[in-house]
Amino acid sequence: MKDRPQVQDFDWPLLGIVGAICLLGLLEIYSSTHASAMAGMQWKQLMWIGIGIIGMFLISQIDYHTLLDQAPVLYLVGLVGLLGVLVIGYSRLGAKRWISVGGQTLQVSELMKLIIIIVLARYFTEVRTDRLTLRDLAKVAALTLVPVALILKQPDLGTAMVLVPVALVGAFFAGIEWKHAAVGLLLIALLVPLAWNMRHHLKPYQQQRIETFLHPEQDQRGAGYQILQSEIAVGSGGFWGKGFGKGSQNQLGFVPVRYSDFILAALAEEQGFIGVCVVLLLYLALILRLVDNAQKAKDRAGMYVVMGVTAILGFHVLVNASMVIGYMPVTGIPLPLMSYGGSATAFVFLALGLVMNVRMRRFVN
Amino acid sequence: MKAGVSLAPWNVTDQKIPQGRLALFSYVSAALVLLLLVGFWKLQVVQSEHYADLADKNGIRPIAIIAPRGAMLDRDGRVLVDSYPSFSILLMRDNPKLLEKSLPQIEDGLGISGEDLHQQLEAAKFEPKFLPLVVKPAASDADIEFVESHRADLPVLELEMVQRRRYPLGEMLANTIGYVGEVSPQDLEKNPDKYKPGDIVGKAGLEREYNDQIVGTDGMKRVVVNSIGRVIRTLDNIDAIPGKPIQLTIDEDIQRIADTDMADKQGAVIAMNGHTGEILAMVSRPTFDPNDFAIRIPPQEWNALNRDPNTPLLNRAIQAQLAPGSTFKIIMATAMLESKAIPAEFTAYCPGEAVFYGRVFHCWQPKGHGAVDLHSGIVHSCDVFFYNVGQRLGIDKIAHYAMGLGLGRRTGIDLPAEEPGLMPTEEWVQRVYHHKWYAGETISVAIGQGAVMVTPIQLARAYDAVATGGTLVQPHLLKDADLKVEHFPLADETVERVTQGMYDVINEGGGTGYALRLQDVDFSGKSGTAQVMSYQAGAKVGGRAGKLTNGWFVGYAPRRNPDIVVAAVVQGSTEHGGTTAGPVVRDIVKAYYDKKNGRFVQPSTAENLQPSHVVPVADPEAEAQSR
């Protein structure tokens, strides 16, 4: 037994998988942008990965129990930050998502993802039961839905949605009763059509996205165009792909935001079904490895933290990949570690920092 | 770390890790990844070809290379119509912001008024955004240079090469040649394989009739474009095959004579080779300039042409259905002799009018012609003589010979929309008006009035048929068309008598066409002056309008088996056909023989066209007095 956590205790196989995914992402960002005005984006992404690794190391050094101790404070800070975004935030592309911190713009909602993992891990640990009552579930829902509502207000449907699986997965491991789960699923099944009828209360661009998801071919030049172009890129890639840097849809700019949200479409075109298999299996390996860390966690608190991270990452992969092949509407959820994006990439590494944090302390008393 | 931290009150490690549920989570994750892979498999393996096809359509844009239409040449190989390449300037509308920003620069550079441009954009507002707007249909060299040099900062401008029609003769022959335009939605629907939207096709006249012969095969260039439509490179290039030229039977020299003679008149002329049916000249006035259609005719101008009460788009040579007036007497004479219902020596007395069925019918000559036989009936165009012939023949016999000689039915000339005219019969009146034929109507028909209507080309062919003893040639404009002939055999005796009459119309002192005679040419023919309104209606209207006539002259040479037959009609004059239409026919026949004998001199201007070598034309009164 050691009495100090050490960097040697980092999950190196997990980091190997992460490294492989990052590398594929960097290559595809290069391939998608090298011939355009955005050339060189892969270096910026690499810089963010570097920043993320430093953040990962730093966050692994603070015992997750200490972080969980401060959960109420973190939660309040997060909510205040989100309110701040609404009041003094920056507008880009019609959405207020950023605030300026020392000249750098920061997406507070990314930070909120980390905070919700910690807050819910603390809550589920504290409940200390294998049978969650409805009261408990109501509290979980309240904790989750307040930040969700604030993020929806920005508006950022994608990020808001991402918080929900943390609560669902957490509840699952905290011992949700099957009948509650069944009722919950039923409620969701009923709420979706209801929400559909309430769609006039959505922002026009959200209405548009849902509309075009249901009927992509009716509006080839609008948002449905994105889904269609993505499908064309993916489908035309075939089994073996068109080759690195040779995807016509990607290179000619038909794939929408090909270096970010639709990077999987760009990769699917150039590397084919084989390439997609490699990527998705790497993500599956990542998830299984994360679950393995949860299984070996020292306590339930650690498990909740790891599974919170897993829930968010898994949800990202699922929604993003589904969107690329037209199974889900365009919601602006990036593919973690591959899509270009500073805040999103940094978040993944910070979240992995939490996982390392838990792993390093499994043998420490 | 101190152990105490982990013993915080909220963290009592008395609960086991739920290994079962974690394992279940792993399985579900694996299942979801598998599901996603199935989704990718469907797109990338099952439907891969479909999407590869869509991808090609996405990035590869076919650009048509328009094939020029074939030229039309006259019988001597002179160009009547040809094509030339030209550029259109297109304005891309799919990026409204960029478009808005570029407008002022475009207005300056291309010299288009901002108001005009905004109006065009407004008009195209509801068309799909990816359809560009043609802002300059015929770009000048300076315009092209402007677009080329601003490719980088004005990406909303594009050049498109098009082929345009050029009609060097302008108005001359316009109704015969016709014009071109964009294929109509109806034609597109009927022939979806043959045409594509925007194709230029013949809309009227020969352009329409021989569209399939002169139309070329468009080539295609496949270019790679990026998502904003910029051309990256050319993949391949299939050259256009230009349309083949066609040679017409038109003789530009004769056409020019005919056209100049008709320049300030309303009416039509048709000149035809009597042996082959080749059309040497065809005029319809008033007319239009087909060059106006070559680029893009503004809607106002098109509407004006269509609504013009003088119908400039009508090809009167084949579409004007007019009363033949006295020119019909040749058909009457032929019917009289052929039917043998009346003896050849039949004589009628003309006191200037006659009563039939209780109604007075006038002769054009109020003083009367005295005793008239067939020959003098033709030469002096005596109405009373032919009233008598008509009464004795009856409408159905007249119709039999008239239709046998090609009146009241289409000649089959190679032009679209030829009109049939009308030769009434008892059966026709019964069918259309549901009453019996009024015998009095026959009297009117006998002098080419009443219900009978013919087109100029029918008359030309009918005269040729009489003079050849019953050979009806099918008139045609394509030089290497097969000779098509119909026979309506006439007795030689009939032909001799009738053609002698027509010869003497011009060559016997006192004939209605004596003023038109030509040296060394067996010029024969017959004039006609048909009232636009009946005697009664004309008297009611009174004045000049009541006396308006369609003046006819059908002439040919030589007397038997003509080389050339010319029919001319001058509408809306108050004068005699021999005076208005006669000289036109005479000039054409003369030009034909001058050219044949190597004496043809091309008139350089319209002024010296009134030739000095012809005898001044007499008016009807003078003709009457000289009788």
Between chains, do A235 and B3 touch, taking CB under 8 Å as contact?
no
Helix (H), strand (E), coil (C) string for B382-401: CHHHHHHHHHHHCHHHHHHH
Cis peptide bond N-terminal to A155, omega within 30: yes
Read off the amino acid at residue B396: D
Chain A: residue whose CA lies nearest to B225: A252
Between chains, do B51 and A235 touch, taking CB under 8 Å as contact?
yes
**Which A residues, 249 through 288, put their C-beta within 8 Å of a C-beta on chain B?**
249, 252-254, 268, 272-273, 276-277, 280-281, 283-284, 287-288
Chain A nearest C-alpha distance from B246 (Å): 46
Q: What is the pLDDT of residues B132-141, one digit of tens each?
A: 778 887 788 8
Give the model's pLDDT for residue B606.
42
Residues B515 and B585: beta-carbon distance below 8 Å: no
Q: Report chain A residues whose CB lies below 8 A from the CB of B37.
A: 276-277, 280
State the average pLDDT over residues A66-95: 84
Percent of chain B with pLDDT over 90: 48
Report the alpha-carbon distance of residue B572 to residue B94 in Å, rounded. 55
Residue B487 has pLDDT above 90, yes or no: yes
CA atoms within 13 A on the CB side of B322: 31
- Long-range (24+ apart) CB contacts under 8 A made by B373-376 are B373/B345, B373/B346, B373/B347, B374/B333, B374/B336, B374/B337, B374/B344, B374/B346, B374/B497, B374/B501, B375/B497, B375/B500, B375/B501, B375/B504
Of A236, A254, A287, the CB nearest to B52: A236
Residues B367 and B352: beta-carbon distance below 8 Å: yes
Between chains, do B48 and A301 touch, taking CB under 8 Å as contact?
no
- Which residues in B454-548 belong to E strands, given as ranges? 471-473, 485-487, 524-531
Residues 6 or more apart in contact with residue A270 via CB below 8 angstroms? A28, A31, A237, A241, A242, A243, A244, A245, A246, A247, A250
Q: Report chain B residues whose CB lies below 8 A from the CB of A220.
A: none
State the average pLDDT over residues A277-297: 95
Report the alpha-carbon distance of residue A217 to residue A204 in Å, rounded. 19
Which tokens belong to B482?
A: 């097969």
Q: Report chain B residues whose CB lies below 8 A from the CB of A218.
A: none
Which comes out higher in pLDDT, residue B125 or B171? B171
Between chains, do A238 and B29 touch, taking CB under 8 Å as contact?
no
Give the model's pLDDT for residue B194.
80
Which comes out higher in pLDDT, residue A128 or A64? A64
Which comes out higher in pLDDT, residue B95 or B15? B15
Residue B532 has pLDDT above 90, yes or no: no
Report the alpha-carbon distance of residue A59 to residue A283 in Å, rounded. 23
Chain B: residue whose CA lies nearest to A240: B44
Q: What is the pLDDT of residues B564-618, one digit of tens each?
A: 999 999 998 888 888 899 999 999 999 999 998 888 777 654 444 444 344 444 3
Q: What is chain B's mean pLDDT, rounded?
A: 85
Distances (CA, A) of A347 to A43, A334, A354, B424: 18, 12, 11, 96
State the average pLDDT over residues A269-283: 95
CB of A6 within 8 Å of a chain B CB? The answer is no
Between chains, do B17 and A297 touch, taking CB under 8 Å as contact?
yes
What 3-state DSSP class applies to B372?
strand
Of A235, A268, A288, the CB nearest to B29: A288
Of A249, A268, A284, the CB nearest to B40: A268
CB of A201 within 8 Å of a chain B CB? The answer is no
Of B15, B25, B59, the CB nearest to A252: B59
CB of A361 within 8 Å of a chain B CB? The answer is yes
Q: A134-152 and A71-88 helices cross at what angle (nearest 10)?
A: 30
B246-247/B72-73 β-pairing: parallel
Chain B: residue whose CA lies nearest to A303: B17
Read off the amino acid at residue B539: A
Q: Report chain A residues whose CB lies below 8 A from the CB of B55.
A: 232-233, 235-236, 248-249, 254
Chain B: residue whose CA lies nearest to A169: B25
B127 pLDDT band, cuts 50/70/90, is low
Between chains, do A235 and B10 touch, taking CB under 8 Å as contact?
no
Percent of chain A with pLDDT over 70: 85
pTM of structure: 0.63
CA atoms within 13 A on the CB side of A287: 28
Chain B: residue whose CA lies nearest to A233: B55
Cβ count near B309 (within 10 Å): 4
Q: Report chain A residues whose CB lies below 8 A from the CB of B93.
A: none
Q: What is the pLDDT of residues B351-361, one digit of tens each?
A: 999 999 989 99
Residue B504 has pLDDT above 90, yes or no: yes
Report the alpha-carbon distance of residue B552 to residue B555 in Å, rounded. 10
DSSP string across A155-175: T-HHHHHHHHHHHHHHHHHHT
Cβ count near B159 (within 10 Å): 15
Report the alpha-carbon distance of residue B419 to residue A301 in Å, rounded. 98
Chain A: residue whose CA lies nearest to B15: A300
Between chains, do B22 and A361 touch, taking CB under 8 Å as contact?
no
Q: Which of B200, B109, B197 is nearest to B162 (CA)?
A: B200
First vs last C-alpha separation in chain A: 8
Q: Report chain A residues whose CB lies below 8 A from the CB of B48.
A: 235-239
Residues B216 and B242: beta-carbon distance below 8 Å: yes
**Which A residues, 81 through 120, put their C-beta within 8 Å of a C-beta on chain B?**
none
Of B36, B50, B59, the CB nearest to A322: B36
To which residue do tokens 């003789």 refer? B251
Residue B94 has pLDDT above 70, yes or no: no
Task: Please state the separation of Cα B467 from the chain's center in Å.
Answer: 29
Report the alpha-carbon distance of residue A170 to residue A132 in Å, rounded. 11
Of A173, A272, A300, the CB nearest to B44: A272
Report the alpha-carbon distance of residue A186 to residue A182 in Å, rounded. 6
Residue B5 has pLDDT above 60, yes or no: no
Q: What is the pLDDT of residues B180-189, one digit of tens each?
A: 888 887 888 8
Q: What is the pLDDT of residues B392-423, one digit of tens each?
A: 999 999 999 999 999 999 999 999 989 999 99
b vs e for B528-544, b when ≥16 Cβ sit within 10 Å of the residue's Cβ? bbbbbeeeeebeeeeee
Cα B325–Cα B328–Cα B330 angle in degrees, nearest 5 = 140
The answer to whether the Cα torsion of A263, A269, A272, A273 is positive or negative is positive
Chain A: residue whose CA lies nearest to B37: A277
Report the alpha-carbon distance of residue B334 to residue B496 in Å, rounded. 10
Cβ count near B390 (within 10 Å): 28
Report the alpha-carbon distance of residue B563 to residue B463 in Å, rounded. 12
Report the alpha-carbon distance of residue B63 to residue B86 in Å, rounded. 16
b vs e for A228-266, b when ≥16 Cβ sit within 10 Å of the residue's Cβ? bbbbbbbbbbbeebbeeeebbbbbbbbbbbbbbbbbbbb
Cβ count near A188 (within 10 Å): 12
Of A65, A254, A303, the CB nearest to B5: A65
Give the model's pLDDT for residue A224.
66
Choose the mutation target among A65, A173, A274 for the interface with B, i.e. most B CBs under 10 Å.
A65
**Which A residues, 31 through 60, put their C-beta within 8 Å of a C-beta on chain B?**
none
CB of A217 within 8 Å of a chain B CB? The answer is no
Cα B430–Cα B436–Cα B439 angle in degrees, nearest 5 = 130
Q: What is the pLDDT of residues B304-322, one digit of tens each?
A: 888 888 888 999 999 999 9
Q: Report chain A residues whose CB lies below 8 A from the CB of B44.
A: 234-235, 237-239, 268, 272-273, 276
The answer to whether the Cα torsion of B93, B96, B102, B103 is positive or negative is positive
Q: Report chain B residues whose CB lies below 8 A from the CB of A254.
A: 55, 58-59, 226-227
Between chains, do B17 and A232 touch, taking CB under 8 Å as contact?
no
Q: B252-262 and B582-596 helices cross at what angle (nearest 10)?
A: 160
Between chains, do B44 and A273 touch, taking CB under 8 Å as contact?
yes
Residues B54 and A235: beta-carbon distance below 8 Å: yes
Percent of chain A with pLDDT over 90: 48
DSSP string across A185-250: HHHHHHHHHHHHHTGGGS-HHHHHHHHHHH-GGG-TTSHHHHHHHHHHHHHHHTTT-S-TT--HHH
